[in-house]
Structures are given as C-alpha cells and as structure tokens.
Amino acid sequence: MDTKISKPVKIIAISAAIIVLVLVNLIVFMTPQHEQTYVYSIEDTLVKWISGSAFPALSIYHDDPLHHPPKIVYFRNNSTFQLQNPERWQEPVSIGRLISKEVTRLRSYNDLWHVPNVSVDGNTLSYDFSAYNGAGIDCKHAVYNVTLSVFKVNVSTGKYREEYIADLPVDDLEVNNLPAAESRIYRISAELIEPKPDEIYRLMFRIYCPNYFTDYNDEQKMMEDICMRCDGIRYDSSDFFLFGEDAPAIPTMIYDKR
C-alpha cells in the first residue's frame, strides 16, 4: 500500500498549519480592542474635552499610607469631626496630563499641579476640584453632575467588605466662561453623617464630565462631535473615609469580593 503523501496535499497541509499559527499569535499577542478603546477614551477625555480632577490616584488598599484617601474621625462625646493630617491636603499634588495654553503640545504628567485643599468645618466636608476645558472651544456654560454615595465598611473578619447605605445631597458644578485650554477651581461641599464609635464609612464623590456645553454663540457642543473616541460616561472619583473614634483599622490590600 502506497503511504506517500502527494505534493498538493503537502502544500495544503503546510499552508493550513501556517494559517493556524498566525491566528494563534494574533489571539495571544494582540491587545483586545475594548481595552484599546478604553485607554483611548480616558486619555482623549482628559485632553480633548471638558474634564478635570481633584486628587491623584489614591486607594485605601495601598500599602503606603501616603497613597491613602483623606481620613476623618468623628468624636461622639463632643460631636466633632476632625480631618487627620490636614497639612497633607494643603500641599500641591500632580493630577495628570493636560494640554498647555499653546494647545499644540502636551505638558508632561508632572507639569499639572493642584492643591486639594480638603477641610472639615463643623459637619461640612469641602475640597477643591480643578475643571479643565480641553475641547479647543471657549465654554460659556457647562454642568458637572456631582453625586455622593455612602458605603458602610465591615472589617470584622479581617477583610474589607462594604455595603451601600445611601446617596447624600450634593450640589452640581455650574461652570461659566471657561476659555479653551484653561482650568478653574471649584469647591465641592457636603454635610457629613455621624457614625457610631465602631463604624467606618466610605464616602465616594463622583464628578461627571458634561456630555455637552454651550459656547459663546449659544450653540451646544456635543462630546461625540468634538471627541469621537471619548467615553460617553466619564467621571472623576474621590474617596473619603469616615471613622468612629473606636473603629478598627482597615487591613491593607485585603478585599473580600463575596
């Protein structure tokens, strides 16, 4: 019985093997399209649209306390709120990369600085948000929607777990007369709730970038018309942690996803 493989069959087999090898390499090494789009949308929103920021990246899970969000302690015996390490939040921090006034070139990441200016006066928490117009068109009016969500933190098992409690009232940001490539400081304020001595709350502010703004000709400028690769829902998120005076410390880098 002749077991030789004919030349055409060999050619077909080799070609198929090459095609399979190419496809495998594409699947393994090619960056997923949705990840590319996500990266572009964040970057483009920062430099080509109405955006802004308050803090650099901060996380309660970080092993370095310098990267933790602001901490507030409530003392029930005299009904007072105290911001911990207040001097830290009066220092300039780098918040990201935006376009310079020349518009044609990007400033480096460390060129843009902002003072969070966090304060607690009575039961009112306040901090500064830097709004930025990267759309290339002078803005007559825009609205940043602001939300404040409260989560109760449970660390009784030695791990971090949280439970949504409520949304608290907070005013939106009304931005008027913000020229192209300019930034301006706005104050965010909200009243604090009173935790029990052993409770911890996470306060999460979200400041949503406008989907449109009005120019000086009273025309609406839509995000998708100016920045087609921008994400339709973009926001700046800032966390604060509110502790009762007897609340336990939050374990670092341990999160319970259950």
Alpha carbons 60 and 254: distance in angstroms, whole number: 10
The count of other CB atoms within 10 Å of the CB of residue 214 is: 16
What integer pLDDT is reported at residue 32 of this predicted model?
Answer: 40
Instruction: Give the model's pLDDT for residue 151.
Output: 98
pLDDT tens per residue across span 43-61: 556 667 888 889 888 888 8
- In the prediction, which pLDDT does 101 show? 45
> Cα dist. 88→21, 46, 70, 85, 99 in Å?
55, 25, 9, 6, 27
Please tell me the pTM assigned to this model.
Answer: 0.78
**Token digits of residue 57:** 């990246």
**96, containing H or E segment:** strand 93-96
Residue with tokens 């090494």: 29
Confidence tier at 96 by pLDDT (50, 70, 90): low
Tell me what pLDDT residue 11 has. 53
231 or 142, higher pLDDT: 142
Q: pLDDT: is 110 or 7 the higher one?
A: 7
Spatial separation of the C-alpha atoms in residues 192 and 187, rounded to whole Å: 16
> Is 174 a residue whose pLDDT tops 80?
yes
Residues 6+ apart with CB under 8 A from 139: 50, 133, 175, 177, 178, 179, 180, 213, 214, 215
Top pLDDT among 67 and 199 is at 199
